[in-house]
Amino acid sequence: MSILRIDSSANTETSITRDLTDRIIATLGDADVVTRDLADSPLPQITHTWAIARSQPEEERSAEQKEALSQSDKLVAELLAADTIVIGAPVYNFSIPAALKAWIDLIARIGVTFRYTENGPEGLVKGKRVIIAMASGGTPLGSEIDFNSRYLEHVLGFMGMSDVTFVAADALAKDPEDTIARAHASIAELRAAA
């Protein structure tokens, strides 16, 4: 099994999502793990050149356009090579960190990870299992103020990844011990389901 691990917490030392992703990966057992730490190695924002290049046929792209897409191509290759994607997604201001949004912007590629058909959009990244470790001070998973999980579930599903499970530590400001215990219990359930 191959796992792509995405860490997006700016907190590199005491991050709850990083701890949860560690535990999730340990639970999944023996696997080849590729780690993409978005805090340690920030990704570029998409640019005009990138946006034009992604729409050009590959054989018509200039050297500058190919260079603009090179990071995106690498990220897409990592995604496509993985059986399971484990994402650490803390809630920042009710949504995902900007670093994680940059990753999504770079992997959401028309004709590569999704396409439009006469029946509507079709995701092209199929057969992947996604596990998301979400942590928040007080934004409950699935609540009307949770734009983190709803966005991630939608955008990943748009690209074809519909098998999405959340491990939530979503009340850390209120009751950190119980919140962490519930998250750990969710991880144990992952082990039982494997």
Question: What are the tens digits of pLDDT across the range 48-79?
Answer: 999 999 988 989 999 999 999 999 999 999 99
**pLDDT given for residue 184 in this prediction:** 96
**pLDDT given for residue 192 in this prediction:** 64
> 2-193 belongs to which homologous superfamily?
Flavodoxin domain (3.40.50.360)
**pLDDT given for residue 140 in this prediction:** 93
Which neighbouring-strand residues pair with 140?
none
Tokens linked to 6: 């995405």
Phi, psi of 8 (to 5 degrees): -125, 0
Q: Where are the domains of the chain?
A: 2-193
Question: What are the tens digits of pLDDT across the range 9-23?
Answer: 999 999 999 999 999
Known binding residues: 9
For the beta carbon of residue 60, count every other beta carbon within 10 angstroms: 8
Whether pLDDT at 193 is above 80: no
Known binding residues for FMN: 9
SS3 content of the chain, % helix, strand, coil (to 5): 45, 25, 35
For the beta carbon of residue 141, count every other beta carbon within 10 angstroms: 18
- 75 and 107 in contact (C-beta within 8 Å)? yes
Its pTM stands at 0.95
Question: What are the tens digits of pLDDT across the range 73-117?
Answer: 999 999 999 999 999 999 999 999 999 999 999 999 999 999 999
pLDDT band at residue 194 using 50, 70 and 90 as cut-offs: low
**pLDDT given for residue 29 in this prediction:** 87
Question: What are the tens digits of pLDDT across the range 136-178?
Answer: 999 999 999 999 999 999 999 999 999 999 999 998 999 999 9
For the beta carbon of residue 73, count every other beta carbon within 10 angstroms: 14
